[in-house]
Amino acid sequence: MLKRSHFQPSLLPYLLVAPQILITLVFFIWPALQALYESFYIQSAFGLGTTFVGLENFVDLWEDPLYIESVWRTFMFSGLVAILAMSLALLFAALADRVIRGAMTYRTLLIWPYAVAPAVAGALWIFMFDPTLGIVSYALDMVGVDWNQAVNGTQAMALVIMAAAWKQIAYNFLFFLAGMQAIPPSVYEAAAIDGASPMRRFWNITLPLLAPTTFFLLVMNVVYAFFDTFGIIDAMTQGGPANATEILVYKVYQDGFVGLDLGSSAAQSVVLMFIVIVLTVVQFKFVEKKVQYS
Amino acid sequence: MKTFLQLGLAATLSSMALGATAQTDIQWWHAMGGKNGELIQGMADQFNASQDKYKINPVFKGSYAETMTAAIAAFRAKQQPAIVQVYEVGTATMMYAKGAIYSVEKLMKDNNQPFERDGFVPAVISYYSTPDGELLSMPFNSSTPVLWYNKDALDKAGVSKIPTTWAEVGDAAKKLVDSGMKCGLSVGFQSWVLIENYSAWHNLPIGTLENGFGGLGTELVFNNEHVKKRLSILQEWTKDKRFVYGGRAGASLPMFTNGECGMWMNSSAYYGSIKSQAKFNFGQTMMPLDTLVADKPQNSIIGGATLWVLQGRPEAEYPGVAEFLAFLASPEVQSNWAMESGYVPITQDASNVMTVQGFYADNAGTDTAVKELSLNPPTANSRGLRFGNFVQIRDVINEEMESIWAGDKTADQAMDTAVERGNKLLRRFEKSVQ
């Protein structure tokens, strides 16, 4: 039997993890607990009156058919953003990986959108698709499509999905490309000698070896779509028309920061936090089993 | 020589520092960017130069919603500014924050500043007064909806008379579309224009208890037959483009200025934007009358923002705040602000100055807003509205109206749902302030 410890107990490891723990406590645990606490109260905007209401904020959400719709809408939105952003990024990475001349320029251009602020990204897309001024809506008009995202909810949803995915492609591209370049060329050479076509090499070598990257990106993209897209939605549709693009995080922002209904907003963020925790656990428990790390 | 210079420099610096400490600094948070922001800085500079006891510091805080949120967060952290600009839909939130606000009328009296309630445009101050008539916040930038029209397009379509009723608007819209335009009429801030002002204009209640002025127990009642009828007619118009919806707030402005829509109903404060963007002759006229509802219009209600004074600043600041607010309401400052920004002057005296200076004569139609606001003494239905959580309620109304324009709901269903959802928000607000 091993002795309990081969080392003298030391303070050093605790000191080394302390900054990380501290940051987590201050920027995650504390606000999360605060949100949990506030979700049991209805309070006035100025904080002058506070009434304990138990679970009423949650019950109100549960009984609101629009909120339940918004939950499903969020799943659809996040799924589509993740799939679109990841599949396009994979395609671009696979193509960029083969480029030899001017590779740096090509890659830089693809990574560029990541540096664009969400609100600016939103403004760019809304400008291209503006029913009156937009160049894309003008082109669509010529082929007989009546584009007006201010009225048509499906068009508005398609537009925010495109913008949100576009913003994330650069990030995914970076990871896919790095993953591809980490695959030893000898593996491809061996496959090529055995007569495997480029497509087959992609499907049977690149893709399986990218599994850890893909899994990581799946988690990141879902979290991104759930939490980080409200800037884009705010700049483009403000959740409209008729709620068509109101996803959960936008409603949290709208009710809390614009409407100043902190109780409901806190309850919504608790629900959102819970959903993302469950999603992440599910991903780690089931999807990760299929991932080969070496 | 060197030491002498240093001494001199130190003396200058310390005298400057002394000068700075003798002055009381007053923070003013506002939401006016661009040209209006510069005008605000100009007013503060003018006031600061006129006396040496107080120094007004205007700080731009972003959009209306951002400015209000920032001020509330600052109040919770006890770092609030003395003056904050709040949009009209935030009025109920502000006025029910009893320990946080300092009634402007009381502030003026406490500090012996002149305050003539009768001198203000009635519909402007009624929106921000208690049921007893005490003015709570100082009206600053106010506007009201008008009907904007493209004169050239109307001429081309053969519309000789500028529409004054909804029936005439419908005819004009039809002729505009027939003459090849993409759209007859569009609208901005649809809840404000087509529900709130439509109701006030025809003396219809928006909510019980005098549109909420009478207390927190108010309930929305705008789902009446008249509003529903008007909206269902507009829904009918969307089919042949007599009416085209172009988004929330001012998003449909380009549709009017590009010449797609011949008529546009939105705030009178768009005068400057339209003047700089439209390449056609345009004009503004009073909102159309719905002859199915009333024989003559009542008065319109305002939009825009007021200046609220917050409690909890050092005592020394409030006399300065009162002096500054009196300065802002003076005819010279007020008329200058109105002429430069396009907002409605808040006092009759300021409006008279503008008449004397020939502003209304040189800029035809710019007096439409004042006329609409002072058409009749405001009634319980046209004084304004005071609903808590109104920011969210407007969103609800926007959503439900959008489902009308998309053809998903009838006007009947949409208005009933809007009222039901809005009332839930009112009850939440009632709970939050008790």
Query: What is residue A99's DSSP assignment?
Result: -
CB of B24 closer than 8 Å to CB of B320: yes
**Residue B52 is assigned to a structural domain of this protein:** yes
Output the pLDDT for position B16.
47
pLDDT, one tens digit per residue, over B126-139 is 899 988 889 999 99
Output the pLDDT for position A243.
85
B337/B255 same-domain check? no
B219/B293 same-domain check? yes
Beta strands, E only, chain A? 41-43, 50-52
Query: Is residue B266 scored above 70 in pLDDT?
Result: yes
Tally of CA atoms within 13 A in the half-sphere of A139 that contains its CB: 4
**Residue B5 is assigned to a structural domain of this protein:** no
**Residue B77 is assigned to a structural domain of this protein:** yes
- SS3 of B146, please? strand
Per-residue pLDDT of chain A (294 residues; tens, 9 = 90+): 555 556 677 888 899 999 999 999 999 999 999 999 999 999 888 888 888 999 999 999 998 888 999 999 999 999 999 999 999 999 999 888 887 788 888 888 888 888 888 888 888 898 899 887 889 988 998 888 888 888 888 999 999 999 999 999 999 999 999 999 999 989 989 999 999 888 898 888 898 899 889 988 998 999 899 988 888 998 888 887 888 999 999 999 888 888 888 899 999 999 999 998 898 888 888 777 777 665
Computed from CA positions of residues A147, A135, B398, B164, in that sequence, does the dihedral angle turn out positive or negative?
negative
For residue B245, the chain A residues in CB contact (below 8 A) are 150-151
The arithmetic mean of pLDDT across residues B98-122, rounded, is 91
B392/B269 same-domain check? yes
Grade residue B313 by pLDDT with cuts at 50, 70 and 90: very high
Cα–Cα distances in angstroms (integers) from residue B94 to residues A89, B63, B89, in the given order: 49, 17, 10
A74 inside 8 A of chain B by CB = no
Tally of CA atoms within 13 A in the half-sphere of B348 that contains its CB: 9
The arithmetic mean of pLDDT across residues B370-377, rounded, is 92
B138/B152 same-domain check? no
**Residue B292 is assigned to a structural domain of this protein:** yes
Of the candidates A42, A150, A151, which has its C-beta nearest B432's C-beta?
A: A42
Q: What is the CATH number of the domain that holds B292?
A: 3.40.190.10
Instruction: Report d(CA B115, CA B132) in Å as an integer.
Output: 16
Which residue in A69, A155, A260 has the most chain B C-beta atoms within 10 A of its own C-beta, making it the best mutation to test that interface?
Answer: A260
B77/B159 same-domain check? no
B352/B206 same-domain check? no
Three-point CA angle A21, A26, A32, nearest 5°: 110
Q: Is the pTM of this model over 0.80?
A: yes
**Residue B134 is assigned to a structural domain of this protein:** yes
Output the pLDDT for position B121.
87
Grade residue B118 by pLDDT with cuts at 50, 70 and 90: confident
ipTM: 0.72
B102/B132 same-domain check? yes
- For residue B69, the enclosing domain spans 24-143+302-362
Instruction: Compute the mean pLDDT over every residue in chain B, rounded to the nearest whole number.
Output: 91
Written as one letter, the residue type at A118 is P
Q: Which of B362, B377, B403 is the last residue of a domain?
A: B362
Three-point CA angle A92, A95, A97, nearest 5°: 105
Q: Which of B362, B378, B400 is the last residue of a domain?
A: B362
**Residue B330 is assigned to a structural domain of this protein:** yes
B294/B311 same-domain check? no
* CATH superfamily for domain A51-290: MetI-like (1.10.3720.10)
B292/B334 same-domain check? no
Which residue in A58, A73, A132 has the most chain B C-beta atoms within 10 A of its own C-beta, making it the best mutation to test that interface?
Answer: A132
For residue B75, the chain A residues in CB contact (below 8 A) are 46-47
B50/B82 same-domain check? yes
| Structural domain count, chain B | 2
Q: Which of B322, B347, B362 is the last residue of a domain?
A: B362
Instruction: Report d(CA B274, CA A213) in Å as an integer.
Output: 53
**Residue B377 is assigned to a structural domain of this protein:** no
Which residue in A39, A40, A43, A46 has the most chain B C-beta atoms within 10 A of its own C-beta, making it the best mutation to test that interface?
Answer: A46
B78/B181 same-domain check? no
Output the pLDDT for position B248.
85
Nearest CA in chain B to A254: B392
Give me the residues paired with residue B30 across strands.
B60
For residue A51, the chain B residues in CB contact (below 8 A) are 431-432, 434
How far is CA A173 from its chain centroid? 14
B162/B241 same-domain check? yes
What is the nearest CA distance from A171 to chain B, expressed in angstroms? 30
